[in-house]
């Protein structure tokens, strides 16, 4: 586990500076390589084969070189196959199978890997550089290509060591950020810096200075098998167990984040079962987090229940309000503004867990691939109703007859938003039939199109290209709507928000996070099964996942209503952050640079007391962008 950096010219000093910028990703070791027309390096967090100085890995002839970030979970099986074909290994490191698999299969080797990774391979004989990112996008990889020059890195801050990269805002990504609280685009908020999409690779010709980006894996939405619920229940359980078992391989202490929800509880249950089958006395360490003040739902009681059931060594941490002082540090680690307040508890949980574990299993991905979100219930119901004649005109009228508090059952911020709930809900209903992308953004978005047009000044405003989103995600009648919706969230919400949150906050504390639910075999199975086995009807979420785990977990864990992890930022804004928000948003250069409209920002702050739960998130989004802009664009040193 580590971070990688590089470019297509020789500069030993620059490659070291780029690697040092992400030292937090790999404090145990460093490696560098320079040749005519190529420089790359890495920082290493040792997990398997703790020997220092083994990177960059090479083949027998030492004409292929590798640095990579991640873990290959099936490396032992691949190694055996490759040894039978005559390949000789020098280390016990999982990464060495990449070198020999590339020798044997060229870029097709990527289809053999089960793991998470960002790879840099240099083939000296062919004069090619191969960059690749894992299927799901668990590990990040960024690149910048201009006038024949290619720069790449695990984090953007490494690339900003080059003075030639201008710190200019990408307007499309800026508008996406304000729409969804994260940037779902494969363009970053830095003009010219891009994300290599999951399941893609770059082939760069060093002599021609040309590159090709291609896809080596994706979900086939049209591939569907009509098996029984019992078949999928059994198959899913087998894959879950095997996935967890693969991710328990480690030469350093290992644990799990345990929220008490179905996803993390399932992992702990399977860890316990596997340990017993192996007659292992290795402890299972679990960690959970709560809030000392302002928590609306306390899930730590469920985490404690699961811990006691499986006899884990459990630690619970309470977060105090003064943690908001960490916000500049967290913004620095994310590189792009991310307005998910859960970044703070994940950062602190990782800080505490590092004392006893270096590898952590997390439950990321369960909601996206098994249909766990409330928004799926709402959008599925709306989509079904959109077939009713006159629904577009009568639906919004009928909605206004229902009190706002009643709508909280379907849209948790309904009463907090106020009467605009009716307007947003009406737009969801009107858009659903012909513009599913807009319907999605209207429901889950933080600033919808008309609000964003008031917030962002004309020279930085750009409408969301709903036509492109519809074309890429909602354009076919051959695939049911639920599957299209989950595919969008899998690619965007999970890939560009939640997985990046987990990666950045764990790596900031030198922890490797593994996500068993996102083994590509499980992902493929989930998208292959009929949608009715994920969201059954309009109310039974994660139907097949719950069936697969019902014998291993208590009923109140498996079947209790999903509780959204609530971070009490409205309490922080009322107390510890109140003066900070005043200082930052009253002295911001964003108004002078005509990025944001000061009158609309004031309107948001004036509305805060009318609906704190919702408007706190709008202010939090502004605050994160303000800190990011000062830190990365204006190059200020920020302290709260």
Q: Could you tell me the end-to-end alpha-carbon distance of the chain, in angstroms, rounded to an integer?
A: 32
| CA 70/CA 620 separation, integer angstroms | 32
- For CA atoms 385, 386, 388, 390, the dihedral sign is positive
Nearest CA-CA partner of 110 in 207, 199, 212:
199
User: Hey, what are 301's tokens?
Assistant: 């009681």
93 catalytic per annotation = no
CB atoms inside a 10 Å sphere around CB 610: 11
User: Hey, what are 468's tokens?
Assistant: 């492109």
Point out which residues pair with 68 in neighbouring strands.
119
CA torsion angle 361 98 489 268 (round to 10): -20
Point out which residues pair with 150 in neighbouring strands.
145
The residue with tokens 């664009």 is 633
| CA 599/CA 592 separation, integer angstroms | 13
The residue with tokens 């040309």 is 210
| CA 17/CA 43 separation, integer angstroms | 11
Nearest CA-CA partner of 622 in 640, 639, 605, 606:
605
Do residues 213 and 107 make contact, with C-beta atoms less than 8 angstroms apart? no
Provide the CB-side half-sphere exposure for 16 (13 A, CA): 3
Pairing of strands 254-257, 210-215: unpaired
What are the two backbone dihedrals, phi and then psi, of residue 215, each rounded to the nearest 5 degrees? -100, 135
Nearest CA-CA partner of 289 in 367, 341, 366:
341
Inter-CA distances, 463 with 176, 391, 410, 467, Å: 9, 26, 27, 11
| CA 201/CA 301 separation, integer angstroms | 44
Nearest CA-CA partner of 7 in 151, 194, 115:
151
Do residues 150 and 7 make contact, with C-beta atoms less than 8 angstroms apart? yes
Q: Say which of 1, 2, 268, 557 is annotated catalytic.
A: 2
| CA 152/CA 74 separation, integer angstroms | 26
Residues known to be catalytic: 2
């Amino acid at each position: 586990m580590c971070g990688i950096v590089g470019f297509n010219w020789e500069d030993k000093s620059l490659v070291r500076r780029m690697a040092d910028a992400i030292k937090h990703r790999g404090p145990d070791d460093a490696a560098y390589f320079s040749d005519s027309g190529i420089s790359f390096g890495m920082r290493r967090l040792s997990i398997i084969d703790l020997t220092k100085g083994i990177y960059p890995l090479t083949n027998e002839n030492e004409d292929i070189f590798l640095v990579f970030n991640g873990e290959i979970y099936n490396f032992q099986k691949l190694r055996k196959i490759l040894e039978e074909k005559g390949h000789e290994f020098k280390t016990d490191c999982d990464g060495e199978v990449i070198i020999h698999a590339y020798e044997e299969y060229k870029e097709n080797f990527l289809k053999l890997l089960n793991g998470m990774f960002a790879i840099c391979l240099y083939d000296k004989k062919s004069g090619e550089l191969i960059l690749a990112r894992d299927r799901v996008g668990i590990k990040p990889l960024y690149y910048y290509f201009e006038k024949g020059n290619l720069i790449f890195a695990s984090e953007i801050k490494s690339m900003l060591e080059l003075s030639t990269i201008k710190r200019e805002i990408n307007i499309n990504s800026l508008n996406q950020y304000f729409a969804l609280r994260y940037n779902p685009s494969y363009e970053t908020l830095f003009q010219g810096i891009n994300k290599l999409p999951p399941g893609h690779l770059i082939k760069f010709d060093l002599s021609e200075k040309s590159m090709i980006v291609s896809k080596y894996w994706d979900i086939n939405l049209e591939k569907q098998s009509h098996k029984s619920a019992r078949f999928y229940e059994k198959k899913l359980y087998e894959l879950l167990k095997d996935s967890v078992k693969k991710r328990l391989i480690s030469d350093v202490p290992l644990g799990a984040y345990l929220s008490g929800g179905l996803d993390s509880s399932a992992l702990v249950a399977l860890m316990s079962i596997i340990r017993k089958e192996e007659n292992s006395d290795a402890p299972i360490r679990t960690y959970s987090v709560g809030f000392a003040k302002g928590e609306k739902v306390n899930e730590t009681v469920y985490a404690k229940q699961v811990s006691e059931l499986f006899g884990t060594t459990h630690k619970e941490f309470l977060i105090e309000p003064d943690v908001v002082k960490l916000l500049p540090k967290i913004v620095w680690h994310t590189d792009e503004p991310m307005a998910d307040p859960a970044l703070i508890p994940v950062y602190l949980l990782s800080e505490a867990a590092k004392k006893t574990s270096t590898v952590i299993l997390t439950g990321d991905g369960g909601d996206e691939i098994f249909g766990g979100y409330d928004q799926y219930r709402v959008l599925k119901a709306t989509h079904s109703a959109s077939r009713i004649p006159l629904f577009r005109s009568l639906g919004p009228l009928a909605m206004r007859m229902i009190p706002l508090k009643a709508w909280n059952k379907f849209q948790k911020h309904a009463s907090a938003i106020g009467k605009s709930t009716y307007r947003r809900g009406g737009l969801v209903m009107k858009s659903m039939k012909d513009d599913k992308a807009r319907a999605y953004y209207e429901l889950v978005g933080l600033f919808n199109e008309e609000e964003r047009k008031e917030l962002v000044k004309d020279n930085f405003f750009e409408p969301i290209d709903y036509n492109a989103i519809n074309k890429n995600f909602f354009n076919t009648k051959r695939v049911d709507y639920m599957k299209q919706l989950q595919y969008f969230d899998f690619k965007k919400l999970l890939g560009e928000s939640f997985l990046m949150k987990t990666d950045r906050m764990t790596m900031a504390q030198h922890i490797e996070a593994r996500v068993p639910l996102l083994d590509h075999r499980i992902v493929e199975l989930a998208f292959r099964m009929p949608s009715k086995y994920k969201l059954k009807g309009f109310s039974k979420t994660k139907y097949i996942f719950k069936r697969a785990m019902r014998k291993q977990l208590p009923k109140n864990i498996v079947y209790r209503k999903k509780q959204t992890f609530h971070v009490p930022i409205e309490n922080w804004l009322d107390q510890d952050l109140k003066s900070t928000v005043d200082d930052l948003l009253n002295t911001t250069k964003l108004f002078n640079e005509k990025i944001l409209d000061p009158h609309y920002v004031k309107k948001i702050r004036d509305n805060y007391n009318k609906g704190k739960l919702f408007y706190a998130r709008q202010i939090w989004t502004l605050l994160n962008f303000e800190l990011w802009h000062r830190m990365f664009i204006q190059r200020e040193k920020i302290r709260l």
